[in-house]
Chains A and B, each alone.
Chain A
Amino acid sequence: MTEKTMRGSISRREFLKATTAVGGGLALEFSVASPALAQGAKPALSEVTHWILIHPDDRVVIRVARSEMGQGSLTGLAQLVAEELECDWNKVSTEFASPNEHIRRKRIWGSMSTGGSQGIRSSQEYLRKSGAQARAMLVSAAATQWNVPAADCTAANGVITHGASKRKVSYGKVAAAAGKLEAPKDVKVKDPKDWKIAGKPLHRLDIPDKVRGLPVFGVDVQLPNMLHASIVQSPVFLGKVKSVDSAEAQKMRGVKGIVKQDSFVAVVADNWWRANVAAKKLKIEWDNGANGSVTTDSIMAMLREGLDAKDLPNARAMGDAPGTFGTATKVVEATYDSPYLSHATMEPMTGTAWFKADGTLEVWTSTQNGEASIAAASEASGLPLEKVAVHKAMLGGGFGRRGAPQDYVTQSVQIAKQFPGKPVKLMWSREEDMQHGFYRPASMVRMKAGLDAQGNLVSMHTKIACPSILALLRPEAIAKGIDFTAVRTFSDSPYTIPNQLVEYAMRNPHVPVGFWRAPGLQNSFYRECFIDEVAQAAGKDPLAFRLAMLKPEDKNRRVLEAVAKAANWDQPLPPGVFRGIAQSDGFGSFTAMVSEVSVKDGRLKVHRVVFAIDSGYVVNPDACRAQAEGNVIYCLGQFYEGHTIKDGRIVESNFHDFVLPRLPEMPKVEVVFASTGGFWGGHGEPGALNVVPSVLNAVFAATGKRIRSLPIKEGELKA
């Protein structure tokens, strides 16, 4: 460890790099100086392991390190712990592990990052183990109290029983003693087939409060004498404030001050509406830099140029794809594209910061990564990590927007710094939120396929032109010029095509890009629609064509077969209804989808979506179903959503021109859990992968039209 890290003043980039490193080699060894930072256990509560706290009255508190943004993993994670702990589920509640405690205790809770559908799958092992350890410690404490061998005692439903004497004691009575024991190293976790709490569709723990409006989302933080801030950021990305005339704004009722920074101006007032009204009165002159004339067309031209570029880095090279097209019986070629997309979380970006008299900083925010938030707050304040406390609020949606960037935390700290001693809550207006996102990259892909005389796909050449998310947010993760989020689905396609070449043209316009639910999912649209085109050219059934290219043991084959069966692929549909199929794996799971649609008077209606997923195991089936339903409707918006770039800025500003799906568009979603066990896959994103391609393949069946560019253009589906 360097001296620099000892003082805790490492840069955000270094910290993020360290905290995302595999192997846990990082040790941030500094002590917490401020008692305000130590949000430890209350005296009456015993910490049995770092994940499990037990009250004397047997109530169990399970700590959750990942964020809850609606995906339900707060409940699923607790189910895994409770299963091994053998406690009474009705006495379980949860709390978020404190990012500050986490740092002080050398990252004891593992990753706090909540993305990539990782919540359950990448923490199940240590959570189940911790539950089993705590159970063993509680049993051991009871056995010691009774002076009997622990092996003669059993634990069930929060009660320990000594077999011979029939003596019983509840967890709460021995928790304090158990907490003093060393955790056993070798504990056995249950075979999932013996699960009683995990694997069951239990009611989610966060819902009863949510129906009453009780949870504190980031925007709901209320503190004594709190001020409110509204922000105006450079409309052209990367632009700077040249000058600001705030005379009129300053005169308005409730306004407490104006904060001018390089890339934004904020108005601080006694309530948010006054701050926002005054912000509209600011006269700001911007330095647009070099990007003031960028348009959608200029970006698409940049991507098209990428597709024509030579000597691009290869994301996959097998056999000789370009060299075999000459001998192919048939060649199919197509170019697809899709636009920039907003996350559009219902809760806009927000952060509350409070520079306190004792030299510490407290921050409250909706974050997908508490560690990234604390790093951003530390860097923006210039305070060492141990003087910064971050409190995780409930998230009004995340979808990837609130993970890596943390721009809103930086801004809230910069603004509050001008108001020492007073908490300041920054909330972006919807307009700011929509026009200052980290968008799903616009991209363009050209695919070329060669068929042999029997109609087998023997060569495929894919060129991908796509802005790099990693170049902006995690440059250290780029390997040999390849951003894996831009090439996935092609670079790791399971289809047994002997000759494959995948090339990547990284083209980075100035529009910020980020992780949007299932990063890289546009590639499922391209690949699975193109495969349909190739199947058609080969004169084969789209399902049979795919199955012929999947190895017998491939889990992609199993889900494809499962979805076809559940959707009655071989049976006729009612007149006017057509179906399409697609399959993709990603985020640890294998998925396939069949969508049934009709197109009438140029209007697309999706009636039914059948989704098969093999995630190995399913921890809360109902929460997983909810994720599938959410993924489907989230993705259906792609048929009409898309950002336009003009004069270097995003044109769309609110939900009237960036339209989100509403209730009438919700199709019937049926989920088939085709779990095979032996591995752990995610659920938050896999359901997104096949929505667009399965629907567009159905649209082709209905209309004979191939939609290769999103959003669908006005009138494009008209006969």
Chain B
Amino acid sequence: MKLNVNGRVHDVDVEADMPLLWVLRDVLNLAGTKYGCGIAQCGACTVHVDGDPVRSCVMPASAMAGKKIVTIEGIGAKGLSRVQKAWIEHEVPQCGYCQTGMIMSATALLAKKPKPNDADIENAMTNLCRCGTYARVKTAIQALSGTKVAAAPEPVLQPNGQKV
């Protein structure tokens, strides 16, 4: 079957029910999209299908015919996207495993709602992160939408003479 991934059409010989995630990872060698649960719970496998965030671990390859798939490798292929830049600026990732999925979710959210409110962010950002980067995910999205400018904490002179 034919799959359009990141603007390129690939002819792949896979079962109709093989989830898109595994076509991406093991057939097309696009390893930036991650496996976390296989049951659409965690969002580590989030990609865009015709612009919508989709959990690729439960999306059969056969359902992808004629659709445009974008993965993290397609985001910022021509330089970092504004979401990726904000992720760096706010030091969002820790281990980073879930973050490609987070970035895909955030990118889709901001494309549809440039100024999301708290509820919009909570509804869209359902990805799991075990390291606990949620506060920074929210701050980065708010900074991108111009709804809130996060102030960096003031450096403090410590009793030991260190400024932190």
Whether B91 and A626, one on each chain, are in contact in the complex, defined by CB atoms closer than 8 angstroms, is: yes
Interface string of A189-219 (1 = CB under 8 A from B): 0011101000101011011101111111101
Compute how far the CA of A194 lies from the CA of B162 in the bound complex, rounded to whole angstroms: 8
A622 CB–B CB distance under 8 Å: yes
Whether B88 and A430, one on each chain, are in contact in the complex, defined by CB atoms closer than 8 angstroms, is: no
**Interface hub of A271, A430, A663 (most chain B Cβ within 10 A):** A663
Interface string of A379-423 (1 = CB under 8 A from B): 000000000000000111111000000000000000000000000
Contacts of B92 in A (CB 8 A): 207, 211
Q: B18: nearest residue on chain A (CB-CB)? A: A273
A438 CB–B CB distance under 8 Å: no
Tell me the chain B residues, 23-40 only, with Cβ under 8 Å from chain A.
25-27, 29, 31-39
Q: A216: nearest residue on chain B (CB-CB)? A: B31
Contacts of B78 in A (CB 8 A): none
Q: B87: nearest residue on chain A (CB-CB)? A: A211
Compute how far the CA of A618 lies from the CA of B160 in the bound complex, rounded to whole angstroms: 10
Interface string of B129-163 (1 = CB under 8 A from A): 11111111110000000000000110010111111
Contacts of B95 in A (CB 8 A): 69-70, 345-347, 394-398
Whether B160 and A427, one on each chain, are in contact in the complex, defined by CB atoms closer than 8 angstroms, is: no
Whether B125 and A663, one on each chain, are in contact in the complex, defined by CB atoms closer than 8 angstroms, is: yes
Q: B83: nearest residue on chain A (CB-CB)? A: A211
Compute how far the CA of A272 lies from the CA of B18 in the bound complex, rounded to whole angstroms: 11
Q: Which of A346, A394, A622, A666 contacts B44 (CB 8 A)?
A: A346
Compute how far the CA of A56 lies from the CA of B23 in the bound complex, rounded to whole angstroms: 43
Contacts of A199 in B (CB 8 A): 162-164
A633 CB–B CB distance under 8 Å: yes
Nearest Cβ distance between residue A616 and chain B, in whole angstroms? 7
Contacts of A634 in B (CB 8 A): 130-132
B73 CB–A CB distance under 8 Å: yes
A233 CB–B CB distance under 8 Å: no
A704 CB–B CB distance under 8 Å: no
A71 CB–B CB distance under 8 Å: yes
Whether A654 and B132, one on each chain, are in contact in the complex, defined by CB atoms closer than 8 angstroms, is: no
Compute how far the CA of A149 lies from the CA of B51 in the bound complex, rounded to whole angstroms: 66
Contacts of A631 in B (CB 8 A): 132
Whether B156 and A663, one on each chain, are in contact in the complex, defined by CB atoms closer than 8 angstroms, is: no
Contacts between chains A and B (CB distance < 8 A), count? 212
Whether B97 and A677, one on each chain, are in contact in the complex, defined by CB atoms closer than 8 angstroms, is: no
Q: A675: nearest residue on chain B (CB-CB)? A: B158
Whether B96 and A215, one on each chain, are in contact in the complex, defined by CB atoms closer than 8 angstroms, is: yes
Tell me the chain B residues, 70-129 only, with Cβ under 8 Å from chain A.
71-73, 76, 80, 84, 87-88, 91-100, 103, 121-122, 125-129
Tell me the chain A residues, 487-501 only, with Cβ under 8 Å from chain B.
none
Contacts of B34 in A (CB 8 A): 217, 219, 346-347, 396
Known contacts A214-B32, A676-B160; is A622 also within 8 Å of B91 by CB?
yes
Contacts of A674 in B (CB 8 A): 158-159
B50 CB–A CB distance under 8 Å: no
Whether A272 and B26, one on each chain, are in contact in the complex, defined by CB atoms closer than 8 angstroms, is: yes
A220 CB–B CB distance under 8 Å: yes
Q: Which of A192, A213, A272, A396 contacts B32 (CB 8 A)?
A: A213
Whether B39 and A617, one on each chain, are in contact in the complex, defined by CB atoms closer than 8 angstroms, is: no
Whether B134 and A633, one on each chain, are in contact in the complex, defined by CB atoms closer than 8 angstroms, is: yes
Compute how far the CA of A217 lies from the CA of B103 in the bound complex, rounded to whole angstroms: 17
Interface string of A44-83 (1 = CB under 8 A from B): 0000000000000000000000000111100000000000
Could you jot down 14 A-B contacts, CB within 8 Å? A70-B131, A193-B162, A195-B162, A206-B93, A207-B93, A211-B80, A213-B71, A213-B73, A345-B97, A630-B94, A655-B37, A666-B135, A674-B158, A674-B159
Please list the 4 inter-chain residue pairs (A to B) with the smallest Cβ-Cβ separation, ordered nearest first: A213-B32, A677-B160, A193-B161, A70-B95
Contacts beyond the supplied A208-B88, A618-B164: 16 A-B pairs with Cβ under 8 Å: A70-B94, A70-B95, A192-B162, A206-B93, A207-B96, A212-B84, A222-B31, A345-B130, A347-B34, A396-B95, A427-B35, A430-B36, A626-B94, A629-B132, A663-B122, A676-B159
